[in-house]
Chains A and B, each alone.
Chain A
Amino acid sequence: MKYVVWTLVAILIVAHQDNWLWDNDTLVFGFIPAGLAFQMGISLAAGFTWWLATQFAWPVELEDNAPAAGDQQ
C-alpha cells in the first residue's frame, strides 16, 4: 500500500501540470473555468492522498519510540 500511496503522490505532481487543459475555457457548473476546477480537484485529491498516506504509509517507527531527551542545553 505504501507504494500505491507514493505512486499517487507522483501522479498528483504530474497531473498538476495538466497541459491538456491549458487553453480550455469551458465553465464547470456554469461558473468555474475548467483549468481552475481541475486544479481545485487536485487540491481535494491531495487531501485524500495524504489521508491515505497517514493511514498506510505512516512512519510508525518514529511514533514515540524513544523517551524525550529534554531540550538540548
Chain B
Amino acid sequence: MTELWIIVGYLSLLLALGIGASLYSRGTSSDFMLASHSIGPFLLLMSVFGTTMTAFAMVGSTGEAFREGIGVYGMLASSSGIIHSLCFFVLGVKLWSYGHRFGYRTQIQFFRDRLDSDKIGVVLFPVLVGLVIPYLLTGIIGAGTIVNVVTQGPKGEPTFDEGTFPAWMEQGETGFAIDGSRGGVPKPVGALIVCAVVLCYVFFGGMRATAWANAFQTCVFMSLGVVTFYLLADKLGGGDTIWESLRALSTNPHIPAGKATRSDISQLHFFTYMLIPLSVGMFPHLFQHWLTAKRASTFKLTVVLHPIFILIVWAPCVLLGFWATAGAVAGGSLPDGTIVPPPVAADPNKVLGFMVSQLNSDWMTGLLSAGVLAAIMSSLDSQFLCLGTIFTEDIVGHYGGRKRFTDRQFVWIARGFIVVIVAISYWLSIAFDGRGVFTLGVWCFSGFASLFPLALAALYWMRLTKFGAYAAVLGTAFSWVTLFWASGFGDANVRTFDLWGMPLQVGEGTVLVTLGESTYELMAVVPMILVSTIAMIVVSLATPKPSQATIDKFFPATTSH
C-alpha cells in the first residue's frame, strides 16, 4: 500500500506544480502553445531532455542490457548523445530563428512557407499524427503497466481484493491471479489516472506548465536513478565498501560470455542503429519545445549537457542489466545470492523492477515507480500539447480561418482538442493489446528518422522543391507502411517475405537481407531513409526550382552576393 500512496503523492505534487505554473499564464494562445517564447536555458535543457527520454531510458535500458549485454549503451545512448545534440545545433537553432522571425508555431507552418505549398500540410499532417500516436500509446500503456505491477504487492499481499473493480478491468485472458490485475490497480485505471493528471496540467497551463513539470520530472528520474543504482550495487554486491561491491558484481563468474562485450550484436546492426536518433529532428513535439526558447543562445546549455545527462541516466541502468544476467543462468546468482526467476528472465522489462524489489523497501519501490512514471509523463505531456496545437493551428486555424476566432477562443479550441486527443489515445491504449510496445517505439522512431532528410534539406538545400518534399513524405509513408506490415505490425517474431526474388526478413525494427551465403542485419530505417532521400533529390531536381521570393526569404546570405 505504501507504493500506491507514494505514487498518489507524486502525482498530486505534479498536479499542484502544473496548476501553479498556470497562474503565470498570460492567457494568450502564444503563451498556451509556446510559453510566450520565454523559456530560458535551464528549463529548455530539462524539458527537452525529459521529452526525449521515455520509460525506455530506465526500464528498457536495463532490460535490453540484460538481453543483449553492454552494447546497448553504444547503440542507444552514446549515439543519441552525438546525434541529438547535432540535431539541436543544426536544425533546432535555425528553426527557432525562422519561428522567431516568421511566427511559426508548428512544423507544418514552416514547411508550407518554405515550400510555398498550401497542400504540403495535407500530406504531412496525417503522417506526423500517425507516427506520434503510436509513440504516445507506448507511454500510456507503459504507465498503466507500471502502476499495476507496483501495486500488486510483491510480498503476496494484494492491495485490492478481486471484485473491487469491474471484471473486464481485473480479468486477463487466463484470470485475475494469472495475467489479470493480480490485486494491483488495473492497468486501464492506472493509465486513466496518469492521463488525467497530465491532461489537467496541460489543459490549464499549456506549454508553461509542461516545461515546469518536465523540469521537475527530469530532476526526479535522474536523481532517483542514481540513488537506486547506489543502493542496489551496495546490496547485491555484498561487499564491505561500494567499490568492493561493484567489483564483485562485474567479476561474477556466472555472467554469461559475451554480455561484457558486443559479440551478441552484429556490427552492421550497431552501425545502422545510429540513424534512429535522427528522429528527434522531425519530432513535432520537440519542434514546439525549440520554439519556446527565449533566444538562440538558450540552446547552448541543451546542446552541451544533453549527452552528459544521457550518460547519467543510462550507464547505471545498463550496468544493472549486465549484472542481472548472472542470476538468470542455471546455477548462477548475484554475489549476495539473488537469483533471477524464469518469469522475470523471460520478460527483460521486468528486470529493473525485480532488482529494486530485492531492496525489500516499499519506499524505494514506490519512489522508483514514481521515477519511471516521471520519465513517461514528461514525454506524454509534450505529445498531447503538440497534437492539440497542430490540430488547432493546422486544421482549424488554417482551413477554418484564424480571424473568425478571438485569441481566447483559440486557446479554448486547443484545450478542447487536447481533451479529445487524450480520450482517443486512452481508448486506443485499452483496445491495443500492449504486445511489443518498445518495438512499436522503434518503428515510430524509424518513421520520424526517415523524414530527417526533408528537415535538413528544407534548411540547407535551396533546390528542394515542394514536389521533392511530397516525394520524401510519400516515400517515407510507403516504405514505413510496407515494412511495418511485413513485420506483422510490430510483432517481435522475424517474418520472411519475398521481395522480387530476394528473401527479406523483417523483425523488431530490423531487416535481414540474404545475399549469397551471407545474411546482413540492419535497421529498417536504412531502406526507409534511402527511399525518402532518393525520392526527394530526384524529384526536386526534375521539377522547377522554388520561387525567387522563397529563396530570398530562407537563404538571404546566399542570394545577397
**Could you say which of B218-226, B257-265, B432-440, B479-487 contacts chain A?**
B257-265
Q: Are A30 and B251 in contact (CB under 8 A)?
A: yes
If A54-B303, A68-B101, A69-B101 touch, does A36 touch B70 (CB 8 Å cutoff)?
A: yes
Nearest-Cβ distance from residue A72 to partner chain B, whole angstroms: 4
Nearest-neighbor residue (CB-CB) of A24 within chain B: B261
Nearest-neighbor residue (CB-CB) of A27 within chain B: B250
If A31-B246, A35-B262 touch, does A71 touch B78 (CB 8 Å cutoff)?
A: no
User: 1/0 contact trace for B394-416 toward A, CB 8 Å?
Assistant: 00010000110000000000000
> What is the CA–CA distance of A31 and B243 in the complex, to the nearest angstrom?
9
Nearest-Cβ distance from residue A3 to partner chain B, whole angstroms: 15
User: Chain A residues with Cβ under 8 A from B522's Cβ?
Assistant: none
User: Chain A residues with Cβ under 8 A from B97's Cβ?
Assistant: 62, 66
**Residues 223 to 269 of chain B near chain A (Cβ within 8 Å):** 243, 246-247, 249-251, 260-263, 267
Nearest-Cβ distance from residue A68 to partner chain B, whole angstroms: 5
B426 at the A interface (CB under 8 A): no
> What is the CA–CA distance of A35 and B21 in the complex, to the nearest angstrom?
43
User: Chain B residues with Cβ under 8 A from A64's Cβ?
Assistant: 100, 295-296
Q: Are A44 and B296 in contact (CB under 8 A)?
A: no
**Could you say which of B11-19, B157-165, B308-316 contacts chain A?**
B308-316
Q: Are A73 and B402 in contact (CB under 8 A)?
A: yes
B81 at the A interface (CB under 8 A): yes
User: Chain A residues with Cβ under 8 A from B89's Cβ?
Assistant: 50, 53
Nearest-Cβ distance from residue B111 to partner chain A, whole angstroms: 13
Q: Name the residue in A12, A27, A36, A69 with the highest tally of chain B Cβ atoms < 10 Å from its Cβ.
A: A36
Q: Are B82 and A13 in contact (CB under 8 A)?
A: yes
B270 at the A interface (CB under 8 A): yes
B29 at the A interface (CB under 8 A): yes
**Could you say which of B102-110, B207-215, B281-289, B350-358 contacts chain A?**
B102-110
B37 at the A interface (CB under 8 A): yes
B94 at the A interface (CB under 8 A): yes
Q: Are A43 and B77 in contact (CB under 8 A)?
A: yes
Cβ 8 A contact of B37, one of A18, A61, A68: A68
User: Chain B residues with Cβ under 8 A from A22's Cβ?
Assistant: 261-263, 267
Nearest-Cβ distance from residue A37 to partner chain B, whole angstroms: 9
If A43-B78, A54-B303, A72-B103 touch, does A33 touch B86 (CB 8 Å cutoff)?
A: no
> What is the CA–CA distance of A2 and B406 in the complex, to the nearest angstrom?
47
Cβ 8 A contact of A30, one of B93, B250, B402: B250
Chain B contributes a number of interface residues (CB within 8 A of A) equal to 61
Q: Are A35 and B93 in contact (CB under 8 A)?
A: no
User: 1/0 contact trace for B461-484 toward A, CB 8 Å?
Assistant: 000000000000000000000000
Nearest-Cβ distance from residue B430 to partner chain A, whole angstroms: 36
Nearest-neighbor residue (CB-CB) of B105 within chain A: A71
**Residues 1 to 58 of chain A near chain B (Cβ within 8 Å):** 9, 12-13, 16-19, 21-25, 27, 30-33, 35-36, 39-40, 42-44, 46-47, 50-51, 53-54, 58
Q: Are B250 and A32 in contact (CB under 8 A)?
A: yes
B318 at the A interface (CB under 8 A): yes
Nearest-Cβ distance from residue B100 to partner chain A, whole angstroms: 5
User: Chain A residues with Cβ under 8 A from B303's Cβ?
Assistant: 50, 53-54
Q: Are B261 and A16 in contact (CB under 8 A)?
A: no
Nearest-neighbor residue (CB-CB) of B300 within chain A: A54
B497 at the A interface (CB under 8 A): no
Q: Are A46 and B70 in contact (CB under 8 A)?
A: no
Q: Name the residue in A18, A39, A62, A63 with the highest tally of chain B Cβ atoms < 10 Å from its Cβ.
A: A39
> What is the CA–CA distance of A70 and B100 in the complex, to the nearest angstrom?
8
Q: Are B250 and A46 in contact (CB under 8 A)?
A: no
Nearest-neighbor residue (CB-CB) of A55 within chain B: B300
Q: Are A51 and B304 in contact (CB under 8 A)?
A: yes
Nearest-Cβ distance from residue A32 to partner chain B, whole angstroms: 7
B520 at the A interface (CB under 8 A): no
B496 at the A interface (CB under 8 A): no
Nearest-Cβ distance from residue A7 to partner chain B, whole angstroms: 14
Cβ 8 A contact of A33, one of B93, B246, B260, B557: B260
Nearest-Cβ distance from residue B92 to partner chain A, whole angstroms: 11
Q: Are A30 and B246 in contact (CB under 8 A)?
A: yes
If A16-B79, A71-B105 touch, does A40 touch B246 (CB 8 Å cutoff)?
A: no
Nearest-Cβ distance from residue A15 to partner chain B, whole angstroms: 10
Nearest-Cβ distance from residue A48 to partner chain B, whole angstroms: 8
User: Chain B residues with Cβ under 8 A from A70's Cβ?
Assistant: 103
Cβ 8 A contact of A36, one of B29, B101, B319: B319
Cβ 8 A contact of B74, one of A25, A42, A47: A42
B305 at the A interface (CB under 8 A): yes
Q: Are B74 and A16 in contact (CB under 8 A)?
A: yes
User: Chain A residues with Cβ under 8 A from B81's Cβ?
Assistant: 42-43, 46-47
Query: In the complex, given contacts A17-B267, A36-B319, what are 7 additional A-B residue pairs having Cβ atoms less than 8 angstroms apart?
Result: A22-B261, A22-B262, A30-B246, A50-B303, A53-B89, A71-B29, A72-B105
19 contacts between A and B (CB under 8 A): A9-B82, A16-B74, A19-B267, A31-B251, A36-B74, A42-B78, A43-B77, A43-B78, A43-B81, A44-B308, A44-B311, A50-B307, A61-B557, A64-B296, A66-B101, A68-B37, A68-B100, A69-B102, A71-B104
Could you list which residues of chain B lie within 8 angstroms of chain A, going by C-beta atoms?
A: 29-30, 34, 37, 70-71, 73-74, 77-79, 81-82, 85-86, 89, 93-94, 96-97, 100-105, 109, 243, 246-247, 249-251, 260-263, 267, 270-271, 274, 295-297, 300, 303-308, 310-311, 315, 318-319, 322, 397, 402-403, 557
